[in-house]
Amino acid sequence: MEPGSSSTEKFYRIPKGKGPHSVGCTDLMTENAVEGSFLRLYYPSCNATDNEEAPWIPDKEYYQGLSDFLNMYRVVGERLFQYYVGSVTCPAKSNAAFKLGEKYPLLIFSHGLGAFRTIYSAICIEMASQGFVVAAVEHRDESASATYYCKKKSLSEPREESTSSLEKEWIYYRKLKTGEEERCLRHKQVQQRAQECIKALNLILKINSGEEVTNVLNSNFDWNSLKDSVDTSRIAVMGHSFGGATVIESLSKEIRFRCGIALDAWMLPVGDDIYQNSVQQPLLFINSEKFQWADNILKMKKLSSNDTNKKMITIKGSVHQSFPDFTFVSGGLIGRFFKLKGEIDPNEAIDISNHASLAFLQKHLSLKKDFDQWDSLVDGIGPNVIPGTNIDLPPAEPE
């Protein structure tokens, strides 16, 4: 259907940023194939009336990967996704000019299992609208439903310095093999993911210092405009689910991340060594009501015991899929059936999560903003939020 012609169009909309800045986004992939970085950057932009909104899911291969992840036939999954979300755009202007004039704090974002760089746009766009530069990493550890790198076509063909000399090499989600121990695989993957977050951080800082970076995706975005625009003393890391575990692993490995936010973290991948005081930085756990279980919460508590800078809150009526964008682009019936929607309005759930995140970031990055108006949420005070967890935990054993 043509946008605007459908009566359902207005319901299936990823929310716009509510902050004072317009938001642009652009994709960046560095060279050296699979070891390079791949990310979508969301940033405060000039008001770009001519620029189109960015596609939400940019390639059909992502539909195929989602089909694999959901155990659907690819041909069926691809058709369904194309029909339901093929025309969805995210409310950020593609390759809009970067807004100069201030130094912005930097947020590195890590996606969940079976996800990829574009499907947390509601969170990333809100953060960018509030004055953050957000680098949403696409992980190549075979935990994304699909991702790719660009490789040169065979040497027999003439080499040109354009995308035509490159082809996409797709990497799909890897299922567990029969008899394979999940913890072992996920621990290996989370270490690669943390390295990819650190690599993305180094890349943005390199661009910030004025170094030339080759983007193999050939967009018309001016990367030089980022020079001296990132506040290198104010850097944080954020992620959902497997991305929450990645936040913890990244904090333990990289002191330049001054704090972290773990959305409904899945703690299985986190190595035992991490619990021995290796996360010094402030950390906020924002949990959904329906996903968590005692063992997972106990691991979070073990990490945060006796540290007042480590906080945990739970959003009432929310589900694990209240954080990615699918919650906004699915109708009520489909949304509930596939557990993409909880009992709480998706917009309200994401607002609570974003506001608590902003208040936490203001405190621990020493920002001069008005995000402290939401400080009470970080303590679990307010409608639809509780401090700590809704999960019944076994009584603590005496030391």
Phi-psi region for residue 225, left (φ > 0), alpha (ψ -120 to 50) or beta?
alpha
Amino acid 201: pLDDT: 98
Q: Helices 121-129 & 346-365, crossing angle to 10 degrees?
A: 50
Cα separation values, 198 from 149, 160, 222, 256, Å: 18, 32, 23, 9
Cα–Cα distance for residue pair 205/333, rounded to 1 Å:
44
Q: How many residues does the chain have?
A: 399
Tens-digit pLDDT profile for residues 168-194: 999 999 999 999 999 999 999 999 999
Q: Please, are residues 182 and 268 in contact by the beta-carbon 8 Å criterion?
A: yes
Asked whether residue 29 is assigned to any structural domain, the reply reads yes
Asked whether residue 12 is assigned to any structural domain, the reply reads no
Structure tokens at 111: 């996606």
Beta strands 259-263 and 230-240 are parallel
Amino acid 267: pLDDT: 98
Mean pLDDT by 10 residues, the chain (399 residues): 40 87 96 86 90 93 94 92 91 96 97 97 98 98 96 65 73 94 96 98 97 90 96 98 98 98 98 90 97 96 89 97 92 71 92 98 98 98 96 75
**Closest listed residue to residue 126, CA positions, set 116, 114, 136:** 136
Asked whether residue 211 is assigned to any structural domain, the reply reads yes
Q: Please, are residues 243 and 263 in contact by the beta-carbon 8 Å criterion?
A: yes
Amino acid 84: pLDDT: 87
How many domains does the chain fold into?
1
> What residues form DSSP beta bridges with 129?
none
Distance of CA 182 to the CA centre of its chain: 23
Backbone angles phi, psi at 132, to 5 degrees: -110, 150
Q: E strands of 30-101, at which residues?
A: 38-45, 53-55, 89-94
Amino acid 1: pLDDT: 35
The model scores a pTM over 0.85: yes
Collapse the DSSP code of 115 into the 3-class scheme (helix H, G, I; strand E, B; otherwise coil) and give the result: coil
Query: Which secondary structure element, helix H or strand E, spans residue 328, and what is its range?
Result: helix 326-329
Cα–Cα distance for residue pair 291/118, rounded to 1 Å:
22
Tens-digit pLDDT profile for residues 126-162: 999 999 999 999 999 999 999 999 987 776 655 555 4
Q: Cβ atoms within 10 A of the Cβ of 197, count?
A: 30
Asked whether residue 17 is assigned to any structural domain, the reply reads no
Q: Please, are residues 288 and 322 in contact by the beta-carbon 8 Å criterion?
A: yes
Asked whether residue 320 is assigned to any structural domain, the reply reads yes
Amino acid 160: pLDDT: 53
Asked whether residue 395 is assigned to any structural domain, the reply reads no
Amino acid 10: pLDDT: 41
Q: Please, are residues 107 and 127 in contact by the beta-carbon 8 Å criterion?
A: yes
Residue numbers of the domain that contains 27: 22-387
Q: Cβ atoms within 10 A of the Cβ of 198, count?
A: 19
Asked whether residue 101 is assigned to any structural domain, the reply reads yes
Collapse the DSSP code of 389 into the 3-class scheme (helix H, G, I; strand E, B; otherwise coil) and give the result: coil
Amino acid 31: pLDDT: 82
Amino acid 157: pLDDT: 56
Amino acid 163: pLDDT: 45
Tens-digit pLDDT profile for residues 95-127: 999 999 999 999 999 999 999 999 999 999 999
Cα–Cα distance for residue pair 141/118, rounded to 1 Å:
17
- Torsion angle, CA of 121/124/125/127, rounded to 10 degrees? 160
Q: At 200, which CATH number? A: 3.40.50.1820
Active site residues: 241, 264, 320
Asked whether residue 177 is assigned to any structural domain, the reply reads yes
